[in-house]
Amino acid sequence: MYEVARKTGSGETPSQPATQELDEAELVRGCQTGDRPSQDEFYRRFRRQVAANLYRVLGQRVDLDDLVQDVFIIAFRGLSRFRGDARLSTWLYRICVNVALGRIRSKARRPPPVLMVNPVADEVESSPPSPEQALRQKQDRERVYRALEAMQPKKRIVLYLHEIEGLDLKDIAYIVEAHPVTVRTRLFYARRDFYRLIAEDGE
């Protein structure tokens, strides 16, 4: 009955073409001055990217709404300090990573769940594979997330950003706020740990 959210929803067809055309600098300026249409556009433009980052790095949609909310609250509060030394999307990556790290660390302090959440249970595929294929793919993805969860958070994030998001060392260094050489070293050990965990999984 309550459809206000859907109706007022910005959706993917924004009703304000003027703000859609804003470039990043204008968008940031608008957000910094508290301009509501700019904040709307900022949220609309990046919400899917933020959700995708968090979803892929964590491998589950549990509390995803709350985490997306956290990222945007941090972003809006921190936009006044955004100096433009990186792309806006990369800057948001950094916030996502910090939020995800917080989540991973808090999760590690809690007892492990009995049942692993299927990370892609609600995914809709364009051409559905056969049941056997689907099961196999699901098991493979679960194996990857199991291995990632067994790793140290810092290594996990670096590996995720490099291997899954495909970012280069410089961007990763900005996001994790470390020197590129440190990132390279961390990535080397992360890969080694990850491949060993995968190779030994199921033995």
Partner 1 sequence: MTAARHVAPERLIEVDAGRASPRETARVDRHVAACARCAAARERLARARDAMTDIAAQQPPELGWDHIGARVYWSTSSARHRALREAERPWWRRPAVLVVASVGLAAATTAALALWPADQRPGVSDAADRAAPPRPQAPKVVAGSATDRARSILRGVVTFASGQVALDGTEPRTDGVELGAVLSSEVEMGARLRTGEGRLVIQFGQASGFALGPHSSVTVGSFDDRAVELVVYEGAVEVELSHRRADQTFVVVAGHHRVSVVGTAFQVAHRAGQVDVECARGRVMVSDGASEVPVSAGEQLKVLEEAVLARALRQTVDPRRLAALERSLARPLLPAWTASPALLDTSSTVELAAPAGRAVRVDGVEVGVGTFALRVMSGRHHLQVSNGAGGFGHGAWIDAEPRARHRARAGLDGVVRLLRSGTDGIAAGGRSLEAMRAGEPAAAARARRLRRRQLTAALGGSARARQCMVPLEKRDLVSGSNVLFDIGFNADGSQGHLNVIRSNVPPDVERCLRAVVDEVQLPDGPAATVRFELAF
Q: Shortest Cβ distance from residue 111 to partner 1 (Å)?
A: 26
Q: Shortest Cβ distance from residue 64 to partner 1 (Å)?
A: 6
Q: Shortest Cβ distance from residue 164 to partner 1 (Å)?
A: 5
- Give a three-class secondary structure readout of 3-26: CHHHHHCCCCCCCCHHHHCCCHHH
- Give a three-class secondary structure readout of 112-144: CCCCCCCCCCCCCCCCCCCHHHHHHHHHHHHHH
Helix (H) or strand (E) holding 36: helix 36-58
76: contact with partner 1 by CB under 8 A:
yes
- Two structure tokens written together for 15: 């009703």
141: contact with partner 1 by CB under 8 A:
yes
2: contact with partner 1 by CB under 8 A:
yes
CA–CA gap between residue 77 and residue 32 (Å, rounded): 9
Structure-token match 């003027």, residue found: 18
* Residues 86-115 close enough to bind partner 1 by CB under 8 A: none
Which of 47, 107, 154, 184 contacts partner 1 by CB under 8 A? 47
Question: Which residues here bind partner 1, judged by CB under 8 A?
Answer: 1-11, 34, 39-40, 43, 47-48, 51-52, 54-56, 59, 61, 64-65, 68-69, 72-73, 76-77, 120, 122-123, 136-137, 140-141, 143-144, 147, 163-166, 191-192, 195-196, 198-203
